[in-house]
Chain A
Amino acid sequence: MISLTELTKDYGTVMAVNKLSLNVNAGEIYGFIGPNGAGKTTTIRMMGGILAPTSGTIIIGGVDMAKNPVAGKKMIGFVPDRPFLYEKLTGMEFLRFSADLYDVPRDTFPHRSQELMKQFALWNWADELIEAYSHGMKQRLIIASALLHDPKILIIDEPMVGLDPAAVHMVKDILKELAANQITIFISTHTLSIAEDLCHRIGLIHKGTLLAQGNLDELKRIANLGEAKLEEVFLTIIKENTFI
C-alpha cells in the first residue's frame, strides 16, 4: 500500500532524508523510529503530501503522489505531530469541515461523526470551541477527523504525545482494530514500548538513512542481540550506524 523508492529530501544545509526505500503492506502497522532530527517527520510530511521530495517516488495505494496528489490524499488519514486546528470552530464543526473536504457521504456523516466523538471521549465537548480543548483532546480530535473518511492508509506522527494513559490504551486498541480491517498504518514514534507493542514491522532511521527494518526478532538478529528490549536494539543499531 505504501512504497517509498530512493526518497530524498535535501534542505540545502541538511540532508534530512537520504535515499529511503521501504514498502508497507495492507493491514500492516509499520513503526518508524529514530532519534531526534533523524528524518522521521520529514518522511511523514512527504508521504502526507505536505512536503515535496527532492528526488525519489512515493506510491500510496498505487497512486504516485507526485503525479496525482489529490487522489493519493483521499486515501490517507493524516495526523501531524502537533495538533494545530482552527481554534474558532467547535469540534463537531471541524469534523464537518473535514467531511466536506474528503467528500464523506452526507447521510453517513451524522452517525459517523457521533460515533467517533463518542469513541474518542469528545462527545460532551462536541459543541465547544476547539480553543477550549486541552492538548490531548485536540490530538484525539485530529485522530477522529483522520478516521472520518475511512482512509485506507493512516499516517501518524507521534500519535501518543499529550495523551493520557487511558487515551493511549484506547488509541492502541483502535489502531490494532483498524489493522485487522486491512487498514495500513505508518507510525512515527519516540515511544519504543508503543512501537514494540503495536507494530508488525519497525524501521529505524538515523541521519536520514534507514539503518534497519523488520520485526522485533529480525532487528535483534541484525543488532546481534539475544533476548533484548527494543530500547537496547535501538541503542545498539544507532551506535553502530552501519547496518544496511
Chain B
Amino acid sequence: MNNIITLLRPRILSSINGLRQGNKKNNWARILMYGTLGIVFWIGTFIIFYRVLFYFQSVQDFGNILAMKLLSMIIITFFALLLFSNIINCLSHLYLSQDLPLVHSLPVSSKDIFVSRWMISTFDSSWMILAFSLPMFLSYGLIYKANTTYYVIFLMAMVFMCFIASALSSILVLFGAQILPAGRIRTILIILGVMMVMIIILVMRLTRPEQLVNPDSFASVVLYFNSMQTPNSPFLPTTWISDAIKAALHNETNTYLLNTALAGTFAFMLIFFNNFTAQVSYFSGFSKSQTTPRRLFAPLKYKGLDWESLLNFLPRESKAFAVKEIRTFFRDSSLWPQLFLMAALIAIYIYNFSVLPLDNTPIKTIYLQNIFSFLNIGLAASVLAAISARFVFPAVSMEGEAFWIIQAAPIQTRTFLWIKFFLYYIPLIILAEVLVVSSNLLLKVSPFMMILSVLTIFCLVPAVVGLGIGMGAVYANFKSENPANVITSFGGLLFMILSFALIAMVIILEAGPVYKIFMADLRGQSLSLIQIVWIFCSFTLAIILCLLSIFYPIHLGEKSLTIK
C-alpha cells in the first residue's frame, strides 16, 4: 500500500504545485474564466433539466414515463462516455505515458504500478461526469421531492458505475494490449468510437424528427411511447443503477437496496478480476507497447505522379512548410477521427437545409428563406470557428519540441506565421464558401443575399484564421504531449470566445442594413441618404473589424514567438 501511495505522490504533488501562487499558468484570470464557465454550465444544466422535468410533470400519464426514460438514457449515455474515456485514459496511463519507463525501473512490483495508474485513470475519467451529473440528479430530487436517501443512493450508484466502467475498460485494455501494441489500439478505438458517434448522428438526423409536426405520423409516436414502457435487460449494470436511482426517487426501499447491492458487488467483483488480470498480463503488455510503432498504412506511390508538384506555384520555403504540414496532418492518425466527424457534421449541415419544410409554414416563404440565409452566415462562420479551434489554433503548438528547427532556420517568424495562415486559410475558405453557397442554393435565396453571404464569409474566414494563428502563437505550448489539446487551455478558450464574439459583432453590424436593403427591395422603395451612410458605416466597420482580426493577432503572435 505504501508503494501505491508513493507512486501516486508525483501526480498529487504536480497538481498542488500547479495551483501554487506565482505559477504563471494559474493567474486569477485563468481561474476566474474556468470557474465561471464551469458554474455557468452547471447552473444552465440544472435550469434546463428542472424546466424539462417540471414540464413532464404537467403531462398526465406520459410525464412520469418520459422522466424515467430520460433518466435511463442519461445513465446509459454516461456509462458509454465513461467506458470510452476510461479506455483512452487506461491506454495512456498504463502503456503510453512518457514517465512509464522510469516508473517500471523503480523497485516496485508491476501490480503496484498498475493499481496506482488505474486509480489515476479512474479519477481522470470519472470526475467530470460525476460533477456534471449532480445538477441533473439534483433537479430530479427537487421535482420528485425526494428525501436524503435518494441523494445517498444516487451518489453510491454513480460511484459504483464509475468503478464498473473503469474496471471493465481496464480489463478490455489489458486483453487488447496482449494482441496489439498499445499505440495501435488507441488509434483503432478512437476511429471506431467516432464512427459510432457519426452513425448515431446520421441515423438520428435521417429519421427526420421535423416530421413529428406532421399529424399523419402521430400513430407511430403513440407506438413509440408504448415501447418506452418495456423494462430494460435485468442483466445490465446500467439497469441496476437506473433502477436504484428511480426506486430511491419513489422511496421503494427493497428495490433500491437490491439494485445498489447488485451494482456494488458487481463493481468489487470486477475490480478483483481486473487486478488478477493485471497481475498476469500487465507487464507483458507494457513490454509490447515499447516496440517501435509501424505505419498503419504503407505510403502510396505512383510513378510519375507526385501530389507535391501541385504546390509548385508556391515560393520554395512556403511549399516546404505546406508539404510538411499536409504530410504530418494526414499521417497523424489521432487527427483522422476529427476529419470523419467534420465530414459528418458538414453532410448533416447541408442535408438540414434540404429538408426544411419552408412551404408548410404560415410565414411568407421569401422572407423566411432570406432570414435563414442571413442566419446561415453566422452558422457557417460558427462551424468554421469550431473547426479552427481544433485545427488552426493548435497549428503553431503542433511544431512541438521540433520548433527549434524553425528558430534555427533562416526564416523570419512573421513569414512562418503567414505561411501557417495561408495553409489553413485556403482549405477553410473553400469549405466555408461551399457551405454557404450550397445551403443558399437549397434555400433558393435572392442574388443580393447570395452575394452578401459569399462576401461576409470571404471576410470572416481570414479573420477567424488570423485570430487562430495569432492567438495560437501567443499561447503556444511546445512541450505538450498532445498539442492538439491546447484548445482546452486558457488561450484556447479565449480564442473560442473571441472568435464567436467577432462573428456575432459582424452579424449584428450587418443585420440592420441588410434588413433595410431587403425590405426596400421587397417594397420597391429607395433608400434615404442617411440610410445609405448608415449602411456604408456598418459595412466599413465590419470590414475594419475583420482586418484587425487578421493582422493584430498575428503581430502579437510574432512578438510572442520572437526570440527572447
Q: Which residues of A contact B (CB under 8 A)?
A: 48-52, 69-71, 73-74, 76, 78, 80, 82, 84-86, 88-89, 93, 96-98, 100-103, 127, 129, 131-132
**Given A80-B404, A89-B327, A132-B293, 8 extra CB contacts under 8 A:** A78-B408, A96-B323, A97-B324, A98-B405, A100-B316, A127-B299, A129-B295, A132-B292
A88 to B316: give the CA distance in the assembly, Å: 21
Assess the A76–B402 pair: CB atoms within 8 A.
no
Assess the B563–A88 pair: CB atoms within 8 A.
no
A85 to B405: give the CA distance in the assembly, Å: 8
Assess the A89–B324 pair: CB atoms within 8 A.
yes
Assess the B328–A89 pair: CB atoms within 8 A.
yes
Query: At the interface, yes or no: B208 with Cβ under 8 Å from chain A?
Result: no
**Minimum distance in angstroms from A64 CB to a CB of chain B:** 15
**Minimum distance in angstroms from A139 CB to a CB of chain B:** 14
Known: A96-B320, A131-B293. A70 touches B563 (CB 8 A): no
Assess the B410–A102 pair: CB atoms within 8 A.
yes
Query: At the interface, yes or no: B481 with Cβ under 8 Å from chain A?
Result: no
When distances are taken between beta carbons in the complex, the residues of chain B under 8 Å from A86 are 324, 328, 402, 405
Q: Which listed residue (A73, A82, A132) contacts B401, Cβ 8 A?
A: A82
When distances are taken between beta carbons in the complex, the residues of chain A under 8 Å from B332 are 88
Q: List 6 A-B contacts (CB under 8 A).
A: A48-B408, A84-B400, A85-B402, A86-B324, A102-B410, A132-B294
Nearest-CB residue, chain B, relative to A100? B320
When distances are taken between beta carbons in the complex, the residues of chain A under 8 Å from B316 are 100, 103
When distances are taken between beta carbons in the complex, the residues of chain A under 8 Å from B324 are 86, 89, 93, 97
Count CB-based A-B contacts (< 8 Å): 76
Q: Which residues of B contact A (CB under 8 A)?
A: 292-295, 299, 316-317, 319-320, 323-324, 327-328, 331-332, 400-402, 404-405, 407-412, 562-564
When distances are taken between beta carbons in the complex, the residues of chain B under 8 Å from A82 are 401
**Minimum distance in angstroms from A9 CB to a CB of chain B:** 10
A69 to B405: give the CA distance in the assembly, Å: 14
Known: A88-B331, A89-B324. A50 touches B410 (CB 8 A): no
**Minimum distance in angstroms from B278 CB to a CB of chain A:** 28
Assess the A49–B407 pair: CB atoms within 8 A.
yes
When distances are taken between beta carbons in the complex, the residues of chain B under 8 Å from A80 are 404, 408
A177 to B380: give the CA distance in the assembly, Å: 60
**Minimum distance in angstroms from A50 CB to a CB of chain B:** 4
A51 to B293: give the CA distance in the assembly, Å: 34
A49 to B406: give the CA distance in the assembly, Å: 10
A102 to B407: give the CA distance in the assembly, Å: 13
Nearest-CB residue, chain A, relative to B320? A100
**Minimum distance in angstroms from B477 CB to a CB of chain A:** 14
**Minimum distance in angstroms from A189 CB to a CB of chain B:** 19
A74 to B332: give the CA distance in the assembly, Å: 31
A85 to B401: give the CA distance in the assembly, Å: 7
A61 to B39: give the CA distance in the assembly, Å: 59
Known: A80-B404, A89-B324. A129 touches B410 (CB 8 A): no
**Minimum distance in angstroms from B102 CB to a CB of chain A:** 16
Assess the B401–A84 pair: CB atoms within 8 A.
yes
Q: Which listed residue (A51, A71, A96, A131) contacts B564, Cβ 8 A?
A: A51
Q: Which listed residue (B323, B404, B410) contacts A97, Cβ 8 A?
A: B323
A100 to B562: give the CA distance in the assembly, Å: 22
Nearest-CB residue, chain B, relative to A101? B409
**Minimum distance in angstroms from B190 CB to a CB of chain A:** 17
Known: A70-B411, A103-B316. A52 touches B293 (CB 8 A): no
**Minimum distance in angstroms from A26 CB to a CB of chain B:** 20
Nearest-CB residue, chain A, relative to B402? A84
**Minimum distance in angstroms from A68 CB to a CB of chain B:** 10
